[in-house]
Structure 1
Amino acid sequence: MRYLILGITEARDDSGAPLPIGGARLRALLAALALRAGGPAVPVSVLVDEVWGEDPPHAAPAALQALVSRLRRALGGKDAVQADPTGGYRLPATRDDVDLYVFQRLAQEAAQTLSTPAASAPAPAPPATPPAESLRTALSLWRGPALADLPDPATRAAHATRPEALRAAAVRDLIEAELRTSTTDPASLLPEIEALIAAHPYDEPLRVQHLRALRAAGRTADALAAYDRTRRALAEGLGTDPGPPLTALHAELLQPTPRPTATPITTP
């Protein structure tokens, strides 16, 4: 069984077919349980708060028990949701069964690979999955906002803030991974980078990626113009100058591209 909480909550059987999890409360209960897969049972009071938010029903524990029974039927039987002797409920699942934790694992492994200098990697180690491939797989798991079915905005934000931040970091890591490969057309990265810059105009690492992509696409003049816009944006918006990574890249862009040396023709 797989549980999907990066978007509208879903459960899928071993063949990948979705199971009928109808109703907002039922989806909220499944999301709250899947969020804690692989851990101890979730207390009744926590589940009531996360399923009903600020509008709990009269006799909430009994209402939760009835909802658990419905969820068991939807998932295929009594063992699909386990009751704990000390109170509370849990899914008999591991984190590898939940898309959120699969995403986190793939994104963190790729980020670690990107941050590890190539010279420090053991030479005889077999090649791992390329970071760009892992990140594309990780980001494809997102179908909408994380934990979209939790009804209380504050509760949802408390659980979803870190996954959303990891998602934003994974997008940037994917751009970085693709900038490092010779198989990706750097021009194809520009629309996404420029959209991110529009949302985060003072993000200098993103600006560095923009200049690198322009340079790799053979658009050095555009990269220099982009640097000038960046310098003005930082000065007007933050009252600062570009940091060392941007200024170092700007200096590289100003260096003339060496022309190939012609081979002299010798006369026998």
Structure 2
Amino acid sequence: MAEQTSGTSHTVRIELLGPLRALRDGAEIPLGPPKQRAVLAVLLLQEGRPISYDGLVEAVWGGAPPVHVRNLVQKYVSGLRRALGDGPELSWTGSGYRLTGVRVDDLAERRLLVDEALAARQAGEVRRAVELAHRAEELWHGDFAEGLHAPYLTAERLRWTEKRLTVLEARLEGEIALGRSFEYVHELVRLVAAHPLRERLAELLMLALCRTGRPADALTVYEEARRRLADAMGADPGPGLRSLHTRVLRQDPALLPGPAVPVA
């Protein structure tokens, strides 16, 4: 798709929600060896801001770069200029390397969808919020910058994993509110197994189980979460999980199975 970034027209699409990909008019652009691709990912995440030579080296190689790292940086920058071709501009500003004329398209699309989902949720439009969050989730095709190894990208991968899970939790909360608990119990079981110390997922699984008439299983989920937290961190569950546990024990009528919200 054509975009205007820093006054430059381009037809290069960049994706980072999964393996780094660059496409020109739908055809994938070869981006070179892994470290060259890591350099590109770091430059892209500066969003048009320059990054110093030392900053780029630290971001890609950490505190122990190879002896000939300056030659490698120059080689990779030249390789990226050739690969990206017309439109994107990778320049030296005097104080650092700057990449303009291109953006990370799937990150921009995700940001827009998540903002719209939040607005819909605040307006009480639960179904629309869930649909928008689902569309944002569909943009992911793996881990953030999957397969690229660089200190900066490792930190960004952790940050984006958290952002992805937060949106996923909000979507599943909406699905449960829409009366779709039965459809998402298995997904929540899988997510709790993958993220055993994430209390919000355990809480959502407990809620889904209660809404499908399985309060005893919900109590088992709580006990398993409590044990995991104690073993791993020496901590008790947080207030959200404890409060839901108390409500299950008291057989709170609000946790009983209810009719699904009809689809408009």
With the shorter chain as reference, the TM-score category is 0.7 to 0.9
Rate the CA distance shift 1:256–1:91 in 2: closer, same or farther, 3 A. Answer: closer
Give the direction of change, closer, same or farther, for the CA distance of 1:102–1:56 in structure 2 (3 Å limit): farther
Q: Which residue of 2 aligns with 1:25?
A: 35
Alpha-carbon distance change, 169 to 68 in structure 1, aligned in 2, over 3 angstroms: same
Amino acid at match of 1:175: L
Aligned partners of 1:255 and 1:110: how far apart in 2? 25
Question: Is residue 100 of structure 2 the alignment partner of residue 92 of structure 1?
Answer: yes
State yes or no: 1:191 paired with 2:189.
Answer: no
Q: Which has the higher strand share?
A: 2
For residue 143 of structure 1, what is the amino acid of its counterpart? H
1:132 corresponds to 2:130: yes
Secondary structure class of the residue paired with 1:73? helix
2:262 alignment partner in structure 1: none
Map Cα deviations across residues 171-209 of structure 1 (whole Å, 9 max, x no partner). 211211222335xx4322111111222344565543442
What is the RMSD computed on CA atoms of the aligned residues? 3.4
Aligned residues: 237
Which residue is equivalent to 1:160? Answer: 157
- Aligned to 1:130, the other structure's residue is in SS state helix
Which stretch of the first structure deviates more once superposed, 129-138 or 197-206? Answer: 197-206
| Secondary structure class of the residue paired with 2:14 | strand
Letter in 2 for 1:247: T
Distance 1:254 1:141, change over 3 A: closer
SS of 2:29's equivalent in the other structure is: coil
Cα distance in 2 between the residues matched to 1:142 and 1:64: 29
Cα deviation code 1:116-147 (max 9, x no counterpart): 363xxxxxxxx799222222222222222223
Identical-residue share of aligned pairs (%): 27
**What amino acid does structure 2 have at the position aligned with 1:66?**
K
TM-score by length of 1: 0.72
CA distance in 1, matches of 2:118, 2:244: 19
List runs of 5+ in structure 2 lacking aligned partners. 1-11, 259-264
Q: Computing the radius of gyration over CA atoms, which structure comes out larger, 1 or 2?
A: 1
